[in-house]
Amino acid sequence: TTPKLLAFAGSLRRDSFNKKLVKIAAAGAEAAGAKVTYVDLKDYPMPIYDQDWFDQHGFPESVLQLKGLMKDHHGFLIASPEYNSSISGALKNMIDWTSRPEEGEAPLSLTCFKGKTAAIMATSPGGLGGLRGLNHVRSILENIGVLVIPDQKAIPGAYQAFDEAGNLVDEKTHDAIASIAAKLADVTAKLQTA
Ligand code: FNR
């Protein structure tokens, strides 16, 4: 079956470099035969997870929509900015919300994550490109049952790395991202038939 991938960035910022990056990866995965859905987390606003708030209101509609989308896909393409050498608050909060069980689901069923695949990447204006943050993103995802492929990329010097149209200026860097996306499509397809 055709692998279905959900692509998103861990940044809400309109001009986010990581949104540009994940769109390039999405095109790479599509070229490799995957069906890709891109979502902008800014379109799914949610409060910071607070169990008291949850007990009173339940899941926000945005989280239910996102959970539905995640369950409908086999894997994730994620570009995450590095905040203070770690995962962005927006991405962590989204993971926290979507990892919570819905009514009728077992507490640790993790239906949005368990058995899914992911490829992770980052870009930042800094010299490490967000590499330290990726270590944390990988660890979090793996701990909730996501198979994160070993191939990953952090692209430094974001202001110089992208052109006006949002493409990566350096061809080798572009090819590296496309290749990671293709690898995810391939691994995800193989897991579907395994
Ligand atoms: C940053 N930034 C940053 N960059 C980095 O390489 N290492 C870091 O630890 C941090 N820390 C950090 C903390 C906070 C709170 C902010 C707001 C920013 C800079 C960051 O990489 C830059 O703003 C990117 O442009 C964010 O990614 P998007 O939004 O362009 O995708």
Please write the tens of the pLDDT for every residue from 125-154. 999 999 999 999 999 999 999 999 999 999
Residues 6+ apart with CB under 8 A from 34: 2, 3, 4, 5, 181, 184, 185, 188, 189
Give nearest CA residue, ligand 1 atom 25.
124
Give nearest CA residue, ligand 1 atom 17.
83
CATH of the domain at 63: 3.40.50.360
Beta bridge partners of 154: 122
Assess whether the C-beta atom of 13 lies below 6 angstroms from ligand 1. Answer: yes
Number of domains in the chain: 1
Domain residue limits at 14: 4-193
The band of 193, judged by pLDDT with boundaries at 50, 70 and 90, is confident
In this prediction, the answer to ipTM > 0.95 reads yes
Measured between alpha carbons, how far is 63 from 105 in angstroms, rounded to an integer?
Answer: 16
Question: pTM, whole model, 2 decimals?
Answer: 0.98
Assess whether the C-beta atom of 85 lies below 6 angstroms from ligand 1. Answer: yes
Q: How far is CA 24 from the centre of its chain?
A: 13
Distances in whole angstroms, Cα of residue 83 to Cα of each of 107, 122, 124, 134:
29, 11, 10, 11
